[in-house]
Structure 1
């Protein structure tokens, strides 16, 4: 990734000039350190009540933001759809006919555990991550694989 994003032709195509790509920028890290370990979940129920869609996803092998901890806070979060979300079944998230994860959805809230991925889901499972984003932005993680292939 670093080699690709360091090529002049790629930099020109992205319009970033001579900026060097780094996978973890210390400048960005320092700018965001104030958000470290802050509980931002307290504002999420208001967003859900307003119909703002939220997708929480985690790689099943993520040790930093583990899927089980994420699942627990999503399930424990108090909002009007909490009970219906908790009662929703886990559904296979399929990519190219194979199960790439498990998800559940109710109303504006979706949770997805991505198989065979760690903290950097897009790096570990790029096709699953891209499929997840495309389906979610179109409004349904549960699209049948056949309908999503033809429109990607």
Structure 2
């Protein structure tokens, strides 16, 4: 970065939560039916997820149900607050007529655009995470065990399949329980390299995967104490 005239960022760690991924079955079916056609991607995704939507359960927290398309009522207060003109001004939000006047926490328009671009089939996160680990940056990937849309099984799978110099050792680690004040808070797996492999001579990165029991998509909201302890560790 220095050679390019850029100011280096003293990055020591990052956290990734609720990573959405393409299911192996989804990727296979799209490939079989023409992966280059957005309609095929949307049709296949709908076919796989339809059974869950029929249950009426909350995709972000399977222990509760959505009420009239509202899965987290608390977000209604957030939307009202962030839509206030005074708050928009403080945040520097463009107030031109072409910009919507309300805050939207989950835009179907934006989501549809990503689907049409087949973004779910082009995961870029792994290569960036691998690059950070090789440069000595610690990475924490965590997820609530009640989250379906970004479930822990899929998140565990991509961390194990992540191609980096510590992949084998990380995959060999046993998924074990972690506790807060003597009570089980979730499951975790972690591996730390002794030295980086990028030739910098610095310490290696540490990859940690953790689940938080009793938490949905909004982990800190559901389990604030456990979330704080997890981050501090």
User: What is the alpha-carbon distance in structure 1 between the residues aligned to residue 214 and residue 144 of structure 2?
Assistant: 7
1:122 to 205, 220, 228: 220
Give the corresponding residue for 1:24. Answer: 105
Over residues 46-82 of structure 1, what are the superposed CA-to-partner deviations in whole Å (9 max), with x where a residue is unaligned? 2111111100001111111100000001001111111
User: Which stretches of structure 1, 4 residues or longer, exceed 6 Å deviation after superposition?
Assistant: 1-5
Q: TM-score, normalised by structure 1?
A: 0.67
User: What is the alpha-carbon distance in structure 1 between the residues aligned to residue 222 and residue 104 of structure 2?
Assistant: 14
Greater relative contact order: 1 or 2 (C-alpha under 8 angstroms, separation 6 or more)?
Answer: 2
Residue 48 (1) aligns with residue 133 (2)? yes
Rg comparison, structure with higher value: 2
2:189 to 104, 124, 134: 104
- Structure 1 residues without counterparts, runs of 5 or longer: 6-16, 136-152
User: What is the alpha-carbon distance in structure 2 between the residues aligned to residue 109 and residue 128 of structure 1?
Assistant: 19
User: What is the alpha-carbon distance in structure 1 between the residues aligned to residue 178 and residue 217 of structure 2?
Assistant: 18
Over residues 94-132 of structure 1, what are the superposed CA-to-partner deviations in whole Å (9 max), with x where a residue is unaligned? 112100011111011000011111111111111111111
Q: Determine helix, strand or coil for the equivalent of 2:136.
A: coil
1:90 to 171, 175, 197: 175
1:67 to 141, 152, 158: 152
User: What is the alpha-carbon distance in structure 2 between the residues aligned to residue 4 and residue 130 of structure 1?
Assistant: 23
Query: What count of residue pairs does the alignment treat as equivalent?
Result: 127
1:79 to 161, 164, 171: 164
Q: Determine helix, strand or coil for the equivalent of 2:185.
A: strand
The answer to whether the 8 Å contact 1:2/1:23 transfers is no
Residue 58 (1) aligns with residue 58 (2)? no
Higher helix share: 1
Q: Determine helix, strand or coil for the equivalent of 1:19.
A: helix
Q: TM-score, normalised by structure 2?
A: 0.45
